[in-house]
Chains A and B, each alone.
Chain A
Amino acid sequence: MANQKIMLGNEAIARGAWEAGVKVSSAYPGTPSTEISENVVKYDEIYAEWSPNEKVAMEVAIGASMAGVRSLVSMKHVGVNVASDPLYTVSYIGVNGGLVMIAADDPGLYSSQNEQDSRAVARAAKVPVIEPSDSNEAKEFVKFAYDLSERYDTPVMVRTTTRLAHSQGLVNLCDRSEIADKPYEKNIRKNVMMPGMAKARHLHVEDREIRMADDAETFPINRVEMNDTKIGVITSGIPYQYVKEVLPNASVLKLGLVNPLPKKMIKDFAAKVEKLYIVEELDPIIEEQVKAMGIACTGKEIFTVQGEYSANMLRKAILGIDLGLEAAAQVPNRPPILCPGCPHRSTFYVLKKLGLHAAGDIGCYTLGAVAPLGVVDTTVCMGSSISTLHGMEKAKGSDYVKNWVAVIGDSTFMHTGVNSLMNMVYNQATGTVLILDNSTTGMTGHQDHAGTGKTLKGDIVNAIDVVKLCQAIGVPNVQVVNTFDVPALEKAIKEETAKSELSVIVVKAPCALLNKKKVTVQYVSNPDKCKKCGMCMKPGCPAITKNADGTVSINDTMCNGCSLCAQLCKFGAIEKVEV
Chain B
Amino acid sequence: METKNIMIVGVGGQGTLLTSRILGGITRAAGYDVKLSEVHGMAQRGGSVVTFVRYGEKVFEPIVEEGQADVLIAFERLEALRYAHFMKKDGVIIVNDQRIDPMPVVIGDAEYPEGILENLSKKYKVLKIDALSEARKLGNTKAFNTIVLGLAAKHMDFSKEDWLNVIENTVPPKTVELNKQAFLVGYNM
Contacts and interface: CB of A to CB of B under 8 A. Distances in A.
Interface of A: 1, 6, 8, 31-32, 34-35, 110-111, 134, 163, 166-170, 238, 241-242, 244-245, 310-312, 323, 325-329, 331-339, 364, 367, 370-372, 443-445, 537, 540, 542, 544-546, 557
16 contacts: A6-B36, A35-B40, A110-B41, A166-B37, A166-B40, A242-B60, A244-B60, A245-B60, A310-B63, A329-B85, A333-B104, A334-B78, A336-B12, A339-B45, A540-B103, A540-B106
Nearest to B142: A557
Contacts, number: 165
A338 B45 contact: yes
A542 B12 CA distance: 12
Contact of B132 (A166, A312, A326, A557): A557
Contact of A542 (B38, B46, B60, B141): B46
B60 A325 contact: no
Given A110-B39, A241-B60, A333 B102 contact: yes
Interface in B97-124: 100-107, 109-113
A545 B81 CA distance: 21
A326 B81 CA distance: 12
The 10 closest A-B pairs by CB, nearest first: A111-B41, A31-B41, A336-B47, A332-B110, A334-B102, A167-B62, A334-B48, A337-B46, A111-B42, A168-B36
B35 A134 contact: yes
B45 A328 contact: no
A578 to B, nearest CB: 18
A242 B61 contact: yes
A542 B39 contact: no
A323 B82 CA distance: 19
Interface of B: 11-13, 24-25, 28, 31, 33-48, 59-63, 65-67, 78-79, 81-82, 84-85, 100-107, 109-113, 132, 141
Given A111-B42, A537-B106, A329 B82 contact: yes
A142 B25 CA distance: 25
A513 to B, nearest CB: 8
B82 A364 contact: no
Nearest to A165: B40
Q: What secondary structure prevails in chain A residues at the interface with B?
A: loop
Given A6-B28, A310-B63, A557-B141, A332 B112 contact: yes
A334 B11 contact: yes
B102 A335 contact: yes
B47 A325 contact: no
A443 B110 contact: no
A325 B81 CA distance: 15
A545 B99 CA distance: 11
A256 B44 CA distance: 31
A370 B45 CA distance: 14
A563 B105 CA distance: 23
A1 B46 CA distance: 38
Contact of A169 (B35, B81, B85): B35
A332 B48 CA distance: 11
A544 B52 CA distance: 30
A163 B33 contact: no
Nearest to B107: A372
